[in-house]
Structure 1
Amino acid sequence: MNHIILASVSVLAITASSGQAQTAPTTPAPQQVAASDEVPTGLQDIIITAQRTTESAQKAPVAIAVIKPEELIRQNVTRAEDLSRVVPALIATASGGPNTTFFLRGVGNTTANAYSDPAISFNYDGVYIGRPNSTQGFFYDLQRVEVLKGPQGTLYGRNATGGAINVLPNHPVIGESSAAFEASYGNYSAVQGRGAINLPIGDTGAFRLSGTYNKHDGYLSDGTGDQNEYGFRAQALAELTPNLTTRIGADYSHQGGVGTGSYVYGTYAYNFPTKAFVFTPTPQFGPTVGVHDPRTEAFVQTRFISQAGRLSEPVNSYPRQDNTAWGVTNETNWKTDLGTLTVQTGYRESAINSNSTTSNFRAFLINEHSRQTTVEARFAGKIGTAVDYLVGAFLFDENIKDKSVINQLTLTPFQNYITGTNSKAAFGRLAFHATDTVTLTAAGRYTDDRKRFNGISDTYVVFCGNPAPPQDFCPNLPLTPLVSNASDLVAFYTARGIPVTRVPLFALPPAAGGSQTAPFVLNAPISINSALETKKFTYRLAADWQVTPANLLYASYETGFHAGGFSFGVGRETYKPETIQAWTIGSKNRFFDNRVQVNIEGFYWKYKDQQVSQFGTDFASPPNSVFYTSNVGNSTIKGVDVDFDVQATPTTRLGGSVQYLDAKYDYYPFTASLAAPTPPNFACPYTVTTQYNVDCSGKTALFSPKWSFNVNVEQTVKLDGYKLVGQVGTRWRGDFFATTSFQPWTISKAAFQSDASLTLSPDADRWFLTAFINNIEDKRRITQSNVNATLNVQSAVASAPRTFGVRVGARFQ
Structure 2
Amino acid sequence: MKNGMLASVSFGALVLAMPAAAQEAPATPSPPTANAPQGAAVGTVTPEGQGLAEIVVTAQRVSESSQRTPLAIDVVKPEELQRQNVIRAEDLARTAPALAAIGGTGGPTTAFFVRGVGNGTVNSYSDPAIAFNYDGVYIGRPSSTSGVFYDLQRVEVLKGPQGTLYGRNATGGAINVIPNRPKLGENGGEFTLGYGNYNWLTGQAAVNLAVGEKVAARFAGTIARHDAFLSDGTGKQREYAGRAQLYAEPTEQLNLRIGLDYAHQGGSSQSGFYLGTVDPVFGATGFAGYKYTPTNFSRQQGLLDPASNALLSSRFVTQAGRAGAVVDGQPYNDDDYWGATGELNYKTDIGTLTIQPAYREAKLDYTFNGVFRQAGVKEKDKQTSVEARLAGKIGPSLDYLLGGMYFDENINTPNAFYDQSTLSPIQHFTTGTKSYAGFGKLTFRPIDKLSLTAAGRYTSDKKTFDGLSQVYILFCGNPASFPPNSCPTLPFVPTVRSTAEMESFYTSRGIPVTSVPLYVLPPFLGGSQTAPFVLRSPIAIDSGLKNEKFTYRLAAQYDLTSRNMLYASYETGYHGGGFSFARGVESYKPETIRAYTIGSKNRFFGNTLQINGEAFLWKYKDQQFTQFGYDLGSPPATVYLTRNIGNSTIKGAEFDVELLATPNTLLSANVQYLDAKYDSFVYYAPNQGLPPNTACGYAPITQTATDGSVLNVFRVDCSGKQAFNSPKWSLNLNAQQTIPLGSHKLVLQAGTRYRGSSYSSADYLSYLKSEAAFVSNASVTLSTDNERWFASVYVFNLENNQRLVGGTTNSAGVISAAAEQPRTYGLRIGGKF
Fold shared, TM-score > 0.5 on shorter chain: yes
Alignment partners' CA distance in 2, 1:497 and 1:677: 30
- Whether the 8 Å CA contact 1:457–1:526 is kept in 2: the answer is yes
Q: How far does residue 681 in structure 1 lie from its aligned partner after superposition?
A: 3.4
Q: How far does residue 270 in structure 1 lie from its aligned partner after superposition?
A: 3.2
Alignment partners' CA distance in 1, 2:71 and 2:675: 20
Tell which deviates more after alignment, 803-812 or 663-672. Answer: 663-672
Counterpart secondary structure, 2:491: coil
- Whether the 8 Å CA contact 2:57–2:65 is kept in 1: the answer is yes
Q: Give the structure 2 partner of residue 304 of structure 1.
A: 316
Q: How far does residue 347 in structure 1 lie from its aligned partner after superposition?
A: 0.3
Counterpart secondary structure, 2:308: helix
Say which of 178, 184, 195 aligns to 1:168.
178
- Whether the 8 Å CA contact 1:34–1:765 is kept in 2: the answer is no
Q: How far does residue 275 in structure 1 lie from its aligned partner after superposition?
A: 5.2
In structure 1, the gaps of 5 or more residues are 1-16, 21-31
Q: How far does residue 689 in structure 1 lie from its aligned partner after superposition?
A: 2.1
Alignment partners' CA distance in 1, 2:716 and 2:46: 62
- Whether the 8 Å CA contact 1:395–1:423 is kept in 2: the answer is yes
Q: Give the structure 1 partner of residue 591 of structure 2.
A: 578
Q: How far does residue 743 in structure 1 lie from its aligned partner after superposition?
A: 1.2
Q: How far does residue 469 in structure 1 lie from its aligned partner after superposition?
A: 2.1
Q: Give the structure 2 partner of residue 476 of structure 1.
A: 489
Q: Give the structure 2 partner of residue 343 of structure 1.
A: 355
Alignment partners' CA distance in 1, 2:456 and 2:196: 49
Counterpart secondary structure, 2:401: strand
- Whether the 8 Å CA contact 1:618–1:673 is kept in 2: the answer is no
Alignment partners' CA distance in 1, 2:446 and 2:203: 51
| Paired letter, 1:661 | L
| Paired letter, 2:193 | A
Alignment partners' CA distance in 2, 1:261 and 1:754: 25
**Alignment coverage as a number of residue pairs:** 778
Q: Give the structure 2 partner of residue 627 of structure 1.
A: 640
Q: Give the structure 2 partner of residue 499 of structure 1.
A: 512
Tell which deviates more after alignment, 493-502 or 92-101. Answer: 92-101
1:750 paired to 2:772 = yes
Counterpart secondary structure, 1:667: coil
Tell which deviates more after alignment, 688-697 or 81-90. Answer: 688-697
Alignment partners' CA distance in 2, 1:271 and 1:581: 45
Say which of 795, 798, 802 aligns to 1:773.
795
- Whether the 8 Å CA contact 1:33–1:766 is kept in 2: the answer is no
Q: Give the structure 1 partner of residue 785 of structure 2.
A: 763
- Whether the 8 Å CA contact 1:752–1:777 is kept in 2: the answer is yes
Q: Give the structure 2 partner of residue 57 of structure 1.
A: 66
- Whether the 8 Å CA contact 1:18–1:70 is kept in 2: the answer is no
> Against the structure 1 CA distance between its residues 330 and 677, is the aligned structure 2 distance closer, same or farther, given a 3 Å change threshold?
farther
| Paired letter, 1:765 | E
Q: Give the structure 2 partner of residue 607 of structure 1.
A: 620
Q: How far does residue 66 in structure 1 lie from its aligned partner after superposition?
A: 0.3
- Whether the 8 Å CA contact 1:726–1:757 is kept in 2: the answer is yes
Deviations 1:219-249 (A, max 9, x none): 1111112211000000001112111111000
- Whether the 8 Å CA contact 2:230–2:301 is kept in 1: the answer is yes
Q: How does 1:242-641 map to 2 (within 5 A)?
A: 242-271=252-281, 273=286, 276-283=289-296, 285-359=297-371, 361-402=372-413, 403-470=415-482, 471-641=484-654
Alignment partners' CA distance in 2, 1:152 and 1:719: 47
Q: Give the structure 2 partner of residue 707 of structure 1.
A: 729
Counterpart secondary structure, 2:166: coil
Alignment partners' CA distance in 2, 1:669 and 1:810: 56
| Paired letter, 2:724 | L
Alignment partners' CA distance in 1, 2:306 and 2:214: 62
Q: Give the structure 1 partner of residue 16 of structure 2.
A: none
> Against the structure 1 CA distance between its residues 565 and 275, is the aligned structure 2 distance closer, same or farther, given a 3 Å change threshold?
farther
1:144 paired to 2:151 = no
Deviations 1:591-622 (A, max 9, x none): 00000000010000001100011111112111
- Whether the 8 Å CA contact 1:619–1:672 is kept in 2: the answer is no
- Whether the 8 Å CA contact 1:141–1:170 is kept in 2: the answer is yes
Counterpart secondary structure, 1:400: strand
Alignment partners' CA distance in 1, 2:370 and 2:42: 38
1:797 paired to 2:808 = no
Q: Give the structure 1 partner of residue 807 of structure 2.
A: 786
1:68 paired to 2:84 = no
Alignment partners' CA distance in 2, 1:512 and 1:203: 85
Q: How far does residue 41 in structure 1 lie from its aligned partner after superposition?
A: 3.7
Alignment partners' CA distance in 2, 1:612 and 1:778: 31
Alignment partners' CA distance in 1, 2:606 and 2:536: 72
Q: How far does residue 87 in structure 1 lie from its aligned partner after superposition?
A: 0.9
Q: Give the structure 1 partner of residue 98 of structure 2.
A: 89
- Whether the 8 Å CA contact 1:41–1:647 is kept in 2: the answer is no
Q: CA RMSD in A?
A: 1.5
| Paired letter, 2:494 | P
Q: Give the structure 2 partner of residue 728 of structure 1.
A: 750
- Whether the 8 Å CA contact 1:568–1:626 is kept in 2: the answer is yes
Alignment partners' CA distance in 2, 1:18 and 1:219: 36
How does the TM-score come out when normalised to structure 1? Answer: 0.94
Alignment partners' CA distance in 1, 2:585 and 2:45: 58
Alignment partners' CA distance in 1, 2:629 and 2:813: 13
Identity of aligned residues (%): 54
Counterpart secondary structure, 1:371: strand
Alignment partners' CA distance in 2, 1:561 and 1:679: 36
Alignment partners' CA distance in 2, 1:46 and 1:274: 61
Q: Give the structure 2 partner of residue 199 of structure 1.
A: 209
- Whether the 8 Å CA contact 2:328–2:374 is kept in 1: the answer is no
1:80 paired to 2:63 = no
In structure 2, the gaps of 5 or more residues are 1-39, 703-712
Q: Give the structure 1 partner of residue 122 of structure 2.
A: 112
Q: How far does residue 264 in structure 1 lie from its aligned partner after superposition?
A: 0.7
- Whether the 8 Å CA contact 2:193–2:202 is kept in 1: the answer is yes
Deviations 1:20-58 (A, max 9, x none): 4xxxxxxxxxxx9999xxx97410100000000000000
| Paired letter, 1:175 | G
Tell which deviates more after alignment, 218-227 or 554-563. Answer: 218-227
Counterpart secondary structure, 1:256: strand
Name which structure has the greater RCO, CA cutoff 8 Å, separation 6+.
1
Q: Give the structure 1 partner of residue 12 of structure 2.
A: none
- Whether the 8 Å CA contact 1:34–1:763 is kept in 2: the answer is no
Q: How far does residue 356 in structure 1 lie from its aligned partner after superposition?
A: 0.7
Alignment partners' CA distance in 1, 2:158 and 2:720: 27
Alignment partners' CA distance in 1, 2:629 and 2:202: 41
- Whether the 8 Å CA contact 2:229–2:270 is kept in 1: the answer is no
Deviations 1:323-380 (A, max 9, x none): 0110000000000111000000110000110001022x11111001110001100001
Counterpart secondary structure, 1:493: helix
Q: Give the structure 2 partner of residue 216 of structure 1.
A: 226
Say which of 108, 124, 128 aligns to 1:98.
108
Alignment partners' CA distance in 1, 2:623 and 2:271: 30
> Against the structure 1 CA distance between its residues 629 and 747, is the aligned structure 2 distance closer, same or farther, given a 3 Å change threshold?
same
Alignment partners' CA distance in 1, 2:110 and 2:203: 23
Counterpart secondary structure, 2:249: strand
| Paired letter, 1:336 | T
Q: Give the structure 1 partner of residue 692 of structure 2.
A: 680
Q: How far does residue 437 in structure 1 lie from its aligned partner after superposition?
A: 0.7
| Paired letter, 2:649 | T
Q: Give the structure 2 partner of residue 808 of structure 1.
A: 829
Q: How far does residue 679 in structure 1 lie from its aligned partner after superposition?
A: 3.0
